[in-house]
Structure 1
Amino acid sequence: MTDNALTLFQLCDSQFPTGSFSHSFGMETYIQNDIVVDPETFSDWLKVYLHEQLVYADGLAAKIVYAALDEEDFDRVWEMDRLLTVQNLARESRDGTQRMGKRMLDAVDSIYDIPIISLYMERLRNKESFGHPAIVFTMLGHHLGVDRKTTVVYYLYSTIVALVQNAVRAIPIGQTAGQKVIHQFQGELKEAGDEIMKLDDYEFGVVSPGLEVSQMQHEHVGIRIFSS
């Protein structure tokens, strides 16, 4: 692993201040419905979330944004920011992702001096863009010279780690079980990264209806600890 890849890996820490600990992105609905109840059923849900939503939304968007940054096609970057937001039909998940994007943007801007990050922040202040963590993460990876696939896989990893930590609290499954899930998902992440590299841009936004419905239903669950 190169020094710059290690630098990017800092954003994969579940303690990085993005607010990810407040969001389950529909997982809590499955917990309330007694579908996700232990490490095994959580792993089943996480595989679907990774391969049926993250791959075709955040992951593919990161790939597209990285290529756009290579070509200095910033209009394409802002277009992906818009598409990531409007294709997210669940209000809570959409709003939560925007908050996470803004918090990641603030944190990255406080650590690094990157012109495209500063421009993204200005666009958010002017309400010209929405803000999304996948785009911020990709901007930093590109700036650091981390290759496209590594940047994409690291982003997927950061999302998986955050969801595992939330499952530890919500199901609960225990810290050791959570670490076992992360270990078991190394192969899944590689597979997801390989799949994203093969996808065409037009495949963006293909997601599982079941996940979308659970995210929409979340605001109506009886007792909850997450915002989405």
Structure 2
Amino acid sequence: MEIDMERSNNRKRPASNDLPLQWSQWQLLDSILPTGGFAHSFGLEAALQTRVITGPEDLHTFVMQVLENTGSLLLPFVYTASKSPTADTLCKLNRMLDAMLTNEVGRKASVAQGSALMRVAASVFSEIPSLKMMRDNFLRSGAISFHHAPIFGLVFGLLGLESETCQRAFMFITLRDIISAATRLNVVGPLGAAVLQHQIAHAAEAITEKWSNRGVEEACQTVPLLDTVQGCHGYLFSRLFCS
């Protein structure tokens, strides 16, 4: 009995300083965090109405394409911001991404989510005063538009979370949000959505590894059709989502 207790006490435990960081990480991934992610369908709604997607069979392909495009285009911005979470880096990345997002719907969606995340992070993580300072300064000057990908990397970086964790988290919320949109659009039921998310997990990890740790000079569009479809969202007669 005493030997078992001694062995248990000697087991490697995570450093106590790391545990609060895990809670912060989980909070950033929690669906109740009011960043507006569930108001956007990543072009799924437009894809349905334009018959690019005609049923559950096409949904798997569409989700994979969204993940691939997110990894190739946005992950470099997440990575760079997480490695250098400074005002100068954020300003540079924001202007670059603003020029690279070629459709107005996607650009507005990125700014809406990024602005919400910056507002929430500045209020929640009050132990990092630079977040509120940066937000106030940029709002006052109007210098940047708070695009989601660099803001996401900035927040993770300032919290002290690893860039690998940050990039994987960004891909996870992309997968989570688009499958949630598919459920509310009745493309798939709640149980089917959970099964689909589990089935795609291995492929999502492979895509993340493929595009992770890349600089913004390597950022590119891999599925231009998605950009075209999402740009049609504003012309839809009826809409449930913002993008």
The verdict on a shared fold, with TM-score over 0.5 as the criterion, is yes
Q: Equivalent pairs: percent with the same residue? A: 21
1:105 aligns with 2:118: yes
CA distance 1:40–1:15, shift in 2 (3 Å): farther
Q: What are the ranges of 5 or more consecutive residues in structure 1 without an aligned counterpart?
A: none
Alignment partner of 1:15: what SS?
A: coil
Contact 2:97 2:147 in 1 (8 A): yes
Name the residue aligned to 1:10. 27
More moved, 92-101 vs 201-210: 201-210
4+ aligned runs moved over 6 Å, structure 1: none
How far has the Cα of 1:198 moved from its partner? 5.4
RMSD: 2.0
- Alignment partner of 1:191 out of 185, 193, 206: 206
Alignment partner of 2:74: what SS?
A: helix
Distance 1:67 1:131 in 2: 18
Contact 2:46 2:229 in 1 (8 A): yes
Q: What are the ranges of 5 or more consecutive residues in structure 2 without an aligned counterpart?
A: 1-13
- Alignment partner of 2:132 out of 93, 118, 139: 118
After TM superposition, list the pairs within 5 Å mapping 1:140-159 onto structure 2: 140-159=155-174
Q: Counterpart amino acid of 2:188?
A: I
More moved, 173-182 vs 34-43: 34-43
TM value normalised by structure 1:
0.89
Contact 1:167 1:173 in 2 (8 A): yes
How far has the Cα of 1:108 moved from its partner? 1.2
CA distance 1:163–1:213, shift in 2 (3 Å): same
Q: How many residues align?
A: 224
Alpha-carbon displacement from aligned partner over 1:127-165 (angstroms, at most 9, x marks no partner): 111112222322222223221111110111012111111
- Alignment partner of 1:59 out of 71, 75, 92: 75
Alignment partner of 1:185: what SS?
A: helix
Name the residue aligned to 1:32. 49
Contact 1:116 1:139 in 2 (8 A): no
